[in-house]
A = this chain, B = another copy of it.
Amino acid sequence: MAREEIPKQAKRMFKGQIFDVFQWEQKMYDGSYKTFELLKRPNTVQVLAVVKDKILLLEQEQPEKGVYLSLPDGRVEGNEDELTAAQRELLEETGFESKSWIEWQRFQPMVKVVFDVVIYIAVDCLKVAEQNLDEGEKIKWKLVSLDELLALTDDREVFKQQELAMLFMDMRLHTDKKEAFRKLLWPDA
């Protein structure tokens, strides 16, 4: 399926904190025109961070959102590239870093909202600093096994990263995909 893109003739109608709104006149199959609308927001990054034989999982609490589990994640800020954003978020949220990063997946998850979710794998992570959280963040980290991670998809009220949940369920359905994923996380095992 074609990716959604903001067409060149679109006008920015509103510039928000996160979302910009674009509109344009779209020619329909019968020759008439209709006002179309798309949003644009910064891409987000998510990190599968490997620490020895485990994976880093966050327990986060946010105003109005309650407590939930997630992989380290965040928005790309300003002009930084996606890998830099992933490295920054992992370091801020957990104090870990890695010298070996793979861009594993890239999705356009929302209908009518142009943005990518980019999922990185960071192997052999080491603790190099303390957490450095924004004023709105309450985050604890813990280490889980691959099987514990994949089992999170049974509770989507608590684990809401939907793209990851889809990938994890797919691995639970297809053992060959799970084993290929395991080799990405632990290339030397």
- Which residues of A are in contact with B by a Cβ distance under 8 Å? 1-2, 4-5, 7, 13-14, 16-19, 21, 23, 26-30, 32, 34-37, 39, 41, 63-66, 68, 109-113, 135-136, 138, 153-154, 156-158, 160, 162, 165-166, 169-170, 172-173
Q: Are A37 and B65 in contact (CB-based, < 8 A)?
A: no
A72 CB, min distance to chain B CBs, angstroms: 16
Determine which of B17, B32, B153 lies in contact with A37 in the assembled complex, contact meaning CB atoms within 8 Å: B17
Q: Are A135 and B63 in contact (CB-based, < 8 A)?
A: no
The interface residues of chain B lying within 8 Å CB-to-CB of A41 are 112
Q: Are A166 and B173 in contact (CB-based, < 8 A)?
A: no
Q: Are B173 and A162 in contact (CB-based, < 8 A)?
A: no
Determine which of B28, B64, B112, B166 lies in contact with A166 in the assembled complex, contact meaning CB atoms within 8 Å: B166
A109 CB, min distance to chain B CBs, angstroms: 7
A171 CB, min distance to chain B CBs, angstroms: 10
Q: Are A112 and B2 in contact (CB-based, < 8 A)?
A: no
A65 CB, min distance to chain B CBs, angstroms: 6
Determine which of B17, B23, B29, B109 lies in contact with A36 in the assembled complex, contact meaning CB atoms within 8 Å: B17
Q: What separation, in Å, do the CA atoms of A26 and B154 have in the docked complex?
A: 32
Q: What separation, in Å, do the CA atoms of A26 and B28 have in the docked complex?
A: 42
Query: With A14-B16, A28-B135 in contact, is A109–B162 under 8 Å at CB?
Result: yes
The interface residues of chain B lying within 8 Å CB-to-CB of A14 are 13-14, 16, 21
A36 CB, min distance to chain B CBs, angstroms: 7
The interface residues of chain B lying within 8 Å CB-to-CB of A157 are 1
Query: Which B residue sits closest to A111, measured CB to CB?
Result: B160
Q: Are B19 and A37 in contact (CB-based, < 8 A)?
A: yes
